[in-house]
Amino acid sequence: MQLYNKLSAKERVELIENAGQERLTLSFYQYAKIGNPQMLRDHLFLNWDALDVLGRIYVATEGINAQLSLPANRFNAFKTHLETIDFLKDIRLNIAVEQDNMSFLKLKVKVRHKIVADGLEDGAFDVTNKGVHVAATEFNALIEDKNTVLVDMRNHYESEIGHFKNAVTPDVDTFRESLDIIEEDLKEHKENQNLVMYCTGGIRCEKASAYFKHKGFKNVYQLEGGIIEYTRQVKAQDLENKFLGKNFVFDDRRAEKISEDVIANCHQCGAACDTHVNCANQACHLLFIQCESCKTELDNCCSIACKEVHALPFEAQKELRKGQGNSNDIFKKGRADHLPHKKELRTIFEPVKK
């Protein structure tokens, strides 16, 4: 019985190309009490592997978080299977704004302690006492209210390339960091301000809204379905799009274009650019923003030093990496000191309107 992926990314690319079928990229999440995450994990892998599902799925005692792709002609079969799982009946599926057959190249279903690494002790508050979910129309009206503070719950490298107009974008590396910043900077306005949050697909706001209600915030709202569902509703209902730039996504597409605005800059030369890449030097692999000119000049690398390593024969590169482990720069995601034009985001909130 096969319970894990056996094909390399290269082999999977060839299979997808030879299949000649369009694939759909989508995501969903659901908080639920799961007694045996490993059993559910194995069940999902067996059924989804048979449907040629690829993606990254986390299962925990608190629920499921899934980002995946599958052949478009098997979408209905996939939905039918979801209906056989009680807590996934009628689940909202966030269909990607921009499709790419190569968004995922492996099926990875993993059991985790949590479906989002939030660093919270869930037993300390009621995670089901969530904020008010608002759709695109209500969200647009709410964020124009002078008594509203709109907060981006994503990390700095996500909001750098795209965010809502007038949103506060905390300069954080992790979701957990943003929670303390928000509570501290808005502590005097828990009673009289609307705290409105958004993220990519809604999952981070789901937990954060319950956390802030526990901390005493009275008017807590979250954008239902996140940026992905907002974009779908804006198009379907011909609404004003208040999102600027791109929506960062955690697959090989890297981002979806939501508006024509380019609000970021190349981390190397400062030119207008919002394209994330990974340094071609495998010992570095830093995620950063690079324009086409710098990409050509530095051979897809983040520095001259990495370019020199990348130019070495493959075996020589392997020798250099021996015993080194992963560079800490991988996790800096655009913060490396050698990137002269990395964007410095706001670390505190602007004064709240009285």
Q: Residue 341 has what pLDDT?
A: 82
pTM to 2 decimals?
A: 0.85
Which residues belong to the active site?
A: 199
Residue-wise pLDDT tens digits, 25-54? 999 999 999 999 999 999 999 999 999 999
Q: Residue 343 has what pLDDT?
A: 61
Q: Quick check: 354 pLDDT over 70?
A: no
DSSP-based three-state secondary structure for 74: helix
Rg (CA), the chain: 21
Tokens of 232: 């779908």
Contact 236, 229 (CB under 8 A): no
Cα–Cα distance, 187 to 155 (Å, whole number):
21
What are the chain's domains?
21-111 (3.30.70.100), 122-237 (3.40.250.10), 264-344 (no CATH)
Beta-sheet pairing, 54-60 with 94-95: unpaired
Mean pLDDT for the chain overall: 90
Beta-sheet pairing, 194-198 with 243-248: unpaired
Residue-wise pLDDT tens digits, 241-291? 999 999 999 888 999 999 999 999 999 999 999 999 999 998 888 999 999
Q: Quick check: 349 pLDDT over 70?
A: no
Residue-wise pLDDT tens digits, 73-119? 999 999 999 999 999 999 999 999 899 999 999 999 999 999 988 88
Which is it for the CA torsion 199, 201, 207, 209, positive or negative? positive
Residue-wise pLDDT tens digits, 139-191? 999 999 999 999 999 999 999 999 999 999 998 988 888 999 999 988 888 99
Residues 6+ apart with CB under 8 A from 136: 223, 229, 230, 233, 234, 237, 239
Burial class of residue 279 (count of CB atoms within 10 Å of its CB; 0-12, 13-18, 19+): buried
Which is it for the CA torsion 230, 247, 183, 186, positive or negative? negative
Q: Quick check: 315 pLDDT over 80?
A: yes
